[in-house]
Structure 1
Amino acid sequence: MANRTVMVWIVAIVCFVVLMFVTPSIPQDQEYHNFADHREFFGIPNALNVISNVPFFIIGVIGIILCYYKNFFKLSLKGELCGWTFFYIGVAAVGFGSSYYHLEPNDARLVWDRLPMTIAFTSIIAIFIIERIDERKGTYSIIPLLLVGAVSILYWRFFDDLRPYALVQFLPCIAIPVMAIMLPPMYTHSSYWLWAAGFYLLAKVEEATDDTIYKWTNHIVSGHTLKHLCAAMVPVFLTFMLAKRDIITERISLFQVWKISWIKYKRYDVEAEKQTITYLSVPTEESCE
């Protein structure tokens, strides 16, 4: 098992190095800072993009408190408390960092928006490893993964290259839904992960259509503001999941659950069809005469 883990890390590092060599660098587009909604309210520039970050701070603080309040989340593994604490710290810090950035959007301030996000992304990956692969390896991976996230931000700032940060941000978007579906959970309410992933995907769409949504809503709200609100739903759903879940006695993946449900559905359809055919084939009195 140890040799397999080493091989996985070696393959991952080699793939990353090759990717860095064969792909061109991705500089930060300065047009990124030009958001659709520049309106000022109560003396706050870009007010809605700033204020819409408040939910991150609120849910982050609530999450941190509940992590330590009489084990409210029923965290049963050692590394879980550490992983979820870092996640909620990252979420709360997004509330400050993103607000600070949107007051005066530029590269220097964008660091404080993206750094907390990498803390949340990487801690979630560690949590999944703890829960669904190996508790010990997942616990030991928390700090290295957090460092990888921080290094990706530093690499972007020093070399103006977004490739490492893009990997840190988008790999979890693929890995988390796949692991949520394919790997057997140790807790109930695993489907909440998919709701969270769905809201994050919606947030990215809204971010990409910032100006379009602003025009569609007759300049009431921009896509970026809605992006903040949808992204804040990710920790909301995960908090609900933590509050409601219990340990599963028989671990089975969502994929297996769906497969069993589909088989039962198809079997029910076949049985219903047979019953219909049998019923229609019963002779009537007139036919007997």
Structure 2
Amino acid sequence: MSNRTVTVWIVAIVCFVVLMFVTPSIPQDQEYHDFADHRQFFGIPNALNVISNVPFFIIGVIGLVLCYYKNFFKLSLKGELCGWTFFYIGVAAVGFGSSYYHLEPNDARLVWDRLPMTISFTSIIAIFIIERIDEQKGTYSIIPLLLAGAVSILYWRFFDDLRPYALVQFVPCIAIPLMAIMLPPMYTHSSYWLWAAGFYLLAKVEEAIDDPIYEWTNHIVSGHTLKHLCAAMVPVFLTLMLAKRDIVAERKIAKMVLQGVLRCLVLKLFILINFP
């Protein structure tokens, strides 16, 4: 790990510590567990909030399979496969964890809702670092970022303070769109990142107006149920992106030029050896 990377990590840790000192703690509001739609269907309490998590499991499993099926996603960098594997594991686990939580909403069960989400959030940040900044740094950041996400959940659970978790959840919402716009892409179809970010933002809005949406729809569907469905569109768009994308033309040309130069050098070396 280079000195620059170490410096970045130290600065990030110092900023986090300072932030923890200068900001008040954020306890978990117990009203959070009181969702608008409590209806029971087929013996399932809070049925729509439970069932609406199924898409996470489906797309998570599909993405995980495609990561390893004949390199369907054409993952070309060392850390990409690892990063996307963790992402899809997190997505699939949300299907279980969030369903488990919504069967009987409380803090203890909420851990299993939030933990898979942090796996997906943090792995996405690592993937972006791999693709847009530096492959090696991004690969090395996967485990530290995953651990940071897990620690944020444990910190909330033991100290009833959501500040670290809030950072883990919302930093990607800011960093990913900025990096998508400002840093040159390695692959085509990078606009799918922005579509994914847009659907996630919409999901957060729907979550915030859970009760009003339930009233506006005449008690047909709640904002939280729609939040699940919109949030599930994030991995859908990212899966479509992976299936469609290719290395951008500039990088292809650079690779071809490099290969041509190497062939010329090998040929020249062969001539020098055999025809001195």
TM-score w.r.t. the length of structure 2 is: 0.90
Any gaps of 5 or more consecutive residues in structure 2? 252-276
Q: Which amino acid is 1:86 matched to?
A: F
Q: Distance in 2 between matches of 1:130 and 1:32?
A: 36
Q: Take 2:122 and 2:109, find their aligned partners in 1: how far apart are those partners?
A: 21
Provide Cα deviations, 1:72-92, integer angstroms capped at 9, x if missing partner: 000000100000000000000
Aligned match of 1:146: 146
For 1:73, the equivalent position in structure 2 comes to 73
Match of 2:200 in 1: 200
Q: How far, CA to CA, are the matches of 1:121 and 1:167 in structure 2?
A: 11
Question: How do 1:216-255 and structure 2 match up within 5 A?
Answer: 216-250=216-250
2:27 aligned with 1:6:
no
- Structure 1 letter corresponding to 2:20: M
Contact 2:5 2:137 in 1 (8 A): no
What is the CA deviation profile of residues 193-220 of structure 1, one whole-angstrom value per residue up to 9, with x for unaligned ones?
0000000000000000000000000000
Superimposed CA distance per residue, residues 16-52 of structure 1 (whole angstroms, 9 cap, x where no aligned partner): 0000001010000000000000000000000000000
Alignment of 1:124-143 (within 5 A): 124-143=124-143
* CA distance in structure 1 between the partners assigned to 2:228 and 2:159 by the alignment: 28
SS at match of 2:250: coil
Distance 1:100 1:7 in 2: 41
Contact 2:177–2:193 under 8 Å retained in 1: yes
| SS, match of residue 250 in structure 1 | helix
Residue of structure 1 in register with 2:271 after alignment: none
Gaps of 5+ in 1: 252-289
The 8 Å contact of residues 155 and 164 in structure 2, kept in 1 or not, is answered as yes
Superposition map of 1:97-112 within 5 A: 97-112=97-112
Return the offset for 1:7: 2.0
**Is the contact between residue 130 and residue 139 of structure 2 (CA under 8 Å) also seen in structure 1?**
yes
- CA distance, structure 2, for counterparts of residue 58 and residue 214 of structure 1: 26
- After superposition, what is the alpha-carbon deviation per residue over 1:255-280, rounded to whole angstroms, capped at 9, x for unaligned? xxxxxxxxxxxxxxxxxxxxxxxxxx
Give the TM-score taking structure 1 as reference length.
0.86
Q: Please give the per-residue CA displacement for 1:172-194, whole angstroms capped at 9, x wherever unaligned.
A: 00000000111111100000000
Q: Which amino acid aligns with 2:249?
A: T
- Other-structure match for 2:23: 23
Q: CA deviation at 1:6?
A: 2.1
**Offset at residue 112 of structure 1 (A):** 0.2
CA positional deviation for 1:2: 2.5
* Superposition CA RMSD, Å: 0.9
Rounded to whole Å, the distance in 2 between the matches of 1:8 and 1:135 is 16
SS at match of 2:79: helix
What are the superposed Cα offsets for residues 118-137 of structure 1, whole Å, 9 maximum, x if unpaired? 00000000000111111111
The superposition leaves residues 84-110 of structure 1 with CA deviations (integer Å, 9 ceiling, x where unpaired) of 000000000000000000000000000
Q: Which runs of 4+ in 1 moved over 3 A?
A: none
In structure 1, the residue corresponding to 2:126 is in which secondary structure? helix
SS in 2 for 1:70: coil
Q: 1:211-231, CA deviations, whole angstroms, 9 ceiling, x for partnerless residues?
A: 000000000000000000000
Tell me the SS of whatever aligns to 1:128: helix
Aligned to 1:33: 33
Alignment-derived partner of residue 123 in structure 2:
123
Identity %: 93
| Structure of larger gyration radius | 1
Q: Which amino acid aligns with 2:187?
A: Y
The alpha-carbon deviation at position 9 of structure 1 amounts to: 1.4
